[in-house]
Amino acid sequence: MALIDIWNTVRGHSVAPGEPPEFKANVPEDFEEEETPDSREPPAPATSISGFTCIIDYADSKGRDSTRRITCVRLENNAGTEYLRAFCHERRSHRLFRCDRIETYYDIETGEVLNIGSILGGNPVMLRQAAPLHWGLSPRDYADIIAGLNILVFVARCDKHWHPMEQAAIDSFVETFWLHSGFRQDIPIDDIIAHAAKLRPDSEIFYGALLRAAERRTLRNTIRKHIAAVIEADGVVTDEEFYWGNQVESYLSGN
C-alpha cells in the first residue's frame, strides 16, 4: 500500500485514553482556544513528543481555567511564541495550546503531577536544539525511538486493548533498537516502557511515525522484526491488528 493510501485510510482514527480516579474534565463552552481542524493533507514526520498523552490545566487569555486530556503532536512556533499542537479528547479535535498557559501536567493513569521536563525536555526550546534530552539520547535518536514506539503502540491499541504481553514485545523492540544503534549507555528500560504506556497515537502521529521510520534504516528494520510479535503477543490476532500490521510491513519493506 502506498503511504498516501495509508493516510486516506487511517485519517481521523484516534484512541481515547482512560482517566485516573477522581478526574473531572472542565472545558467551558465559551473557553477561548485555537482550534486546528484536521488536515486532509498528510502530516509531517513525527517528533519527540508525538503520542504522549496526559492531562493539563490550561488557562485562556482571560485567566479562566480548563482541565482536559490531550495527546501531544508537536511543538510549533508562531512569531516567537511556543505552542503545543495536541489532540484534545474532550473537544474531540486538534487544538493549539500556548506553552506558557499550560499550568500543570498530570499523569494520565495516576493523576500525579508531572515535571514538565518529562514532556518537553525541561523547556520547549530545547526540543529545537542539539542538547541531549531524555534517556541520554540526542534529539534525533530520541525522536527515532519515539516514532518506533508510536507505530507499535498504534498497532497494539488498534483493537482497543493493551495486553501485558504486547508490552513485553515492545520491550524487546527497545532492547534490539538500542543494541543495533550502538548506544553505549545502559538502557533505562523501565522509563521507556512507562513512557510507551502513556502513548495514544492518533492517525496523524501514526502516519508521521511511519514517515520517520522510512528514513531511518535501523529503526525501519527493527520495527519490521517486531511488528508480528506485537500482533501475536496475547495469542489473539484481531482483524484490526492483522490489517494494520500488514500495512506497516508492506510500507516499510518497500523503503
How much is the pLDDT for 116? Answer: 63
Region 133-150 average pLDDT: 86
Q: Round the average pLDDT of the chain to a whole number and report it.
A: 83
CA distance 81 to 50: 19
What are the pLDDT digits (tens) for 13-64? 666 677 777 888 888 877 877 666 555 555 566 677 888 999 999 998 888 9
Alpha-carbon radius of gyration of the chain: 18
How much is the pLDDT for 213? Answer: 94
How much is the pLDDT for 76? Answer: 85
Residue 90 has pLDDT above 60, yes or no: yes
The fold adopted by the segment(s) 134-253 is TerB-like (1.10.3680)
How much is the pLDDT for 187? Answer: 93
Region 113-138 average pLDDT: 57
How much is the pLDDT for 135? Answer: 86
CA distance 244 to 45: 19
Residue 124 has pLDDT above 50, yes or no: no
Domain boundary assignment for the chain: 19-128, 134-253
Region 177-183 average pLDDT: 94
**In terms of pLDDT, which residue wins out, 47 or 171?**
171
CA distance 243 to 204: 18
What are the pLDDT digits (tens) for 230-254? 999 989 999 999 999 998 998 898 8
Residue 140 has pLDDT above 70, yes or no: yes
